Amino acid sequence: MTIFDLRRRFKSGETTPAAFLETLAGEIAQRDREVGAYVSHDLESALAEAATADLSLPLGGVPIAIKDNINLLGQPCTCGSRFLAENYTAPYDASVIRKLRAAGAIPFGRMNMDEFAMGSATENSALQTTRNPIDPERVPGGSSGGSAAAVAAGSAIAALGSDTGGSIRQPASHCGVVGLKPSYGRVSRYGLVAFASSLDQIGPLTRTVEDAALLFQAMAGFDPADSTSLDVPVPDCLGGLNDGVQGLRLGVPKEYFGEGIDAGVRKNVETAIQKLAAQGAEIVGISLPHTQHAVATYYIIAPAEASSNLSRFDGIRYGRRAAHPADILDLYKKSREQGFGPEVKRRIILGTYVLSSGYYDAYYSRAQKARTLIRRDFENAFKQVDAIVSPVASTPARRLGAYAGDPLHEYLSDAFTLSANLAGIPGVSVPCGVTDFDGGKNLPTGLQILGPHLGEAMILRVARAVEK
Angle, alpha carbons 234-374-359 (nearest 5°):
120
Neighbours of 407 (CB within 10 A): 18
Kindly state whether residue 36 participates in binding ligand GLN, applying the rule CB under 6 A.
no
Kindly state whether residue 117 participates in binding ligand GLN, applying the rule CB under 6 A.
yes
Closest to ligand GLN by CB, 413 or 445: 413
Cα–Cα dist 400/137, whole Å:
6
Least distance CB 9 / ligand GLN (angstroms): 34
Q: Which of 24, 118, 350, 425 binds ligand GLN (CB under 6 A)?
A: 118
Cα–Cα dist 12/20, whole Å:
14
Q: Which residues ranging from 190 to 209 are in contact with ligand GLN (CB under 6 A)?
A: 195
Least distance CB 362 / ligand GLN (angstroms): 21
Beta bridge partners of 444: 434
Q: Which of 105, 220, 302, 462 binds ligand GLN (CB under 6 A)?
A: 302
Cα–Cα dist 326/318, whole Å:
20
* Residue among 125, 143, 147, 390 flagged as catalytic: 143
* Residue among 167, 173, 188, 429 flagged as catalytic: 167
Closest to ligand GLN by CB, 306 or 331: 306
Count of residues in contact with ligand GLN, rule CB under 6 A: 13
Q: Is 143 a catalytic residue?
A: yes
Kindly state whether residue 119 participates in binding ligand GLN, applying the rule CB under 6 A.
yes
Cα–Cα dist 343/313, whole Å:
15
- Identify the DSSP state of 136: T
Least distance CB 380 / ligand GLN (angstroms): 25
Are 87 and 317 in contact by the 8 Å Cβ rule? The answer is no
Kindly state whether residue 143 participates in binding ligand GLN, applying the rule CB under 6 A.
yes
The strand ranges marked E within 43-119 are 63-67, 106-111
| Alpha helix stretches (DSSP H) within 43-140 | 43-51, 82-85, 95-102
Least distance CB 443 / ligand GLN (angstroms): 19
Closest to ligand GLN by CB, 3 or 459: 459
| Alpha helix stretches (DSSP H) within 103-168 | 145-153
Cα–Cα dist 1/3, whole Å:
7
Kindly state whether residue 120 participates in binding ligand GLN, applying the rule CB under 6 A.
yes
Closest to ligand GLN by CB, 260 or 358: 260
Q: Which residues bind ligand GLN (CB under 6 A)?
A: 117-120, 143, 163-167, 195, 302, 414
Q: Could you list the active site residues?
A: 67, 143, 167
